[in-house]
Amino acid sequence: MQATDAFHFPRGFLWGTATSSHQVEGQQANNDWWAAEEQGGMIYKNQRSGPACDWWNRAEEDFDRMADLGHRTHRLSIEWSSIQPKPDRWDLGALDRYVEMISGLRERDIEPMVTLHHFTNPIWVAERGGWANENIIPLFQKYVERVVRRLSDQVTLWCTINEPMVLVSQGMMLGLWPPGKRDFSMARRAAINLARAHAVAYHTIHDIDDRAQVGLAKHMVVWNPDHIWLPTDHLVARLFNFISNHIFLRAITQGVVRLPGTRPIRIDRARGTLEWLGVNYYQRYRVGLRMRQMLQSLIPGLSGEFLYRGTRPDHPQGPGTWGEFHPRGLYESLGSLMRYGVPLYVTENGIPSQDDGPRVRFLINHLHQLWNAIQDGFPVQGYYHWSLLDNFEWAEGYNPLYRFGLIEVDFETQQRRVRESGQTYGQIAQANAITRDTVGRFAPDLDSHLFGGNHRS
């Protein structure tokens, strides 16, 4: 094969997928999402997660599929509400089941990355105010300690918290997820508590195992000015970028939160609590300031939304308000994290789509940008596609427009079918390269885009 016929990845690069407990395990009756599902009103067609992908009983069958497809790593999460369903009750059987799952991954030569918090809280924690109450920090620490003591001999890669800013904005600013609030001061407290909890988890893990590699998964969005010639749109894009992408990371790397116009807040022991950083990358938005609406908002009785967030209609995009697919954004997001000076992982990247064709192209185009990033010296160690299989997509429930799996799941029968995207990804993982053969077989229309020009390889 000629040099230009493949984009090779570094030796030992980790290829895998990501899942989270509530989205795949099923019957998570002790967490706040389950409670919200029971209550109704928050989820697509009032659906309930129910058995989800029944991973509690059949994860190993899917581990076999991962192994067959050449995956070498998997990111999964531990469900706090299963380990500690009540304040004074620890379910050691549940912990045993996680030990079994992680051994199952190891037996198949699949390196586990373990997330300690992926959006859900035990109901009893939520009833005490959840992340908005600083008392959650010692509670979280106890849970982390239990889990890490039990799993540390099999786990090196720990991800403390998944997407803290998404949790805060969806749950406490937009009111779309539990606890369903729109309360800025609550959201602010929760963000600070999440940063503190990350720091405490970092030290707890290291006290138990000094070889551990601790990081977190940060949702990164590309914010572009809607009108390239309008300085105000640039300003809004920069502001969104700072708030949604960097405030939290600054807090845990520098140990202090600096919000515009407020006094700095020290985050105890947070400085330098990252050994790696994970990027969850999905979309781009165009943003800007609508002057007319802004002036209207100054006139009592005439209010208008003056901050604009949208997409270009002619650009490929996801359903609803999902945003635009923008492969180059993966490169840009990884690049913007270089300033934190730690190794990087793509801890999530995927596409909501009922059809698999767009997923194949999404995958190849994003992996090509990942390859470019590595060529340019970005220290990316692995890539976790979201997701291995279709699963419960939070407020979208089982809405068919929000299928993310490389493997299709029939939720009636629990049958699986590997999609073409799953085969594409399997070939890339096995070859440790995007080869011209793979592109020719699964997305021939991309051949000239990828291999036609003077690409480095």
Q: Which residues bind ligand BGC (CB under 6 A)?
A: 20, 23, 162-163, 166, 219, 280, 348, 386, 393
Nearer to ligand BGC, 221 or 450 (CB): 221
Of residues 166 and 216, the one with the C-beta less far from ligand BGC: 166
For ligand BGC, the closer of residues 280 and 424 by Cβ is 280
Q: In the bound complex, what is the minimum distance in angstroms from residue 289's beta carbon to ligand BGC? A: 27
Q: How far is the CB of 170 from ligand BGC (least distance, A)?
A: 9
Q: Which is nearer to ligand BGC, 255 or 316 (CB)?
A: 316
To the nearest whole angstrom, how small is the minimum distance from the Cβ of residue 18 to ligand BGC?
A: 8
Q: Least separation, in Å, of the C-beta of 243 and ligand BGC? A: 17
Tell the smallest beta-carbon distance from residue 23 to ligand BGC (Å). 6
CB of 397 to ligand BGC, least distance (A): 11
3-state per-residue secondary structure call for the chain: CCHHHEEECCCCCEEEEECCHHHHCCCCCCEHHHHHHHHCCCCHHHCCCCCCCCHHHHHHHHHHHHHHCCCCEEEEECCHHHHCCECCECCHHHHHHHHHHHHHHHHCCCEEEEEEECCCCEHHHHHCCHHHCCCHHHHHHHHHHHHHHHHCCCCCEEEEEECHHHHHHHHHHCCCCCCCCCCHHHHHHHHHHHHHHHHHHHHHHHHHCCCCEEEEEEEEEEEEECCCCCHHHHHHHHHHHHHHHHHHHHHHHHCEECCCCCCCEECCCCCCCCCEEEEEEEEEEEEEECHHHHHHHHCCCCCCCCEEEECCCCCCECCCCCCECCCHHHHHHHHHCHHHCCCEEEEEECCCCCCCHHHHHHHHHHHHHHHHHHHCCCCEEEEEECCCECCCCHHHCCCHHHCCCCEEEECCCCEEEECHHHHHHHHHHHHCEEEHHHHHHHCHHHHHHHHHCCCCC
Give the nearer residue to ligand BGC in terms of CB position, either 317 or 427: 317
Name the residue nearer to ligand BGC (CB basis): 20 or 353. 20
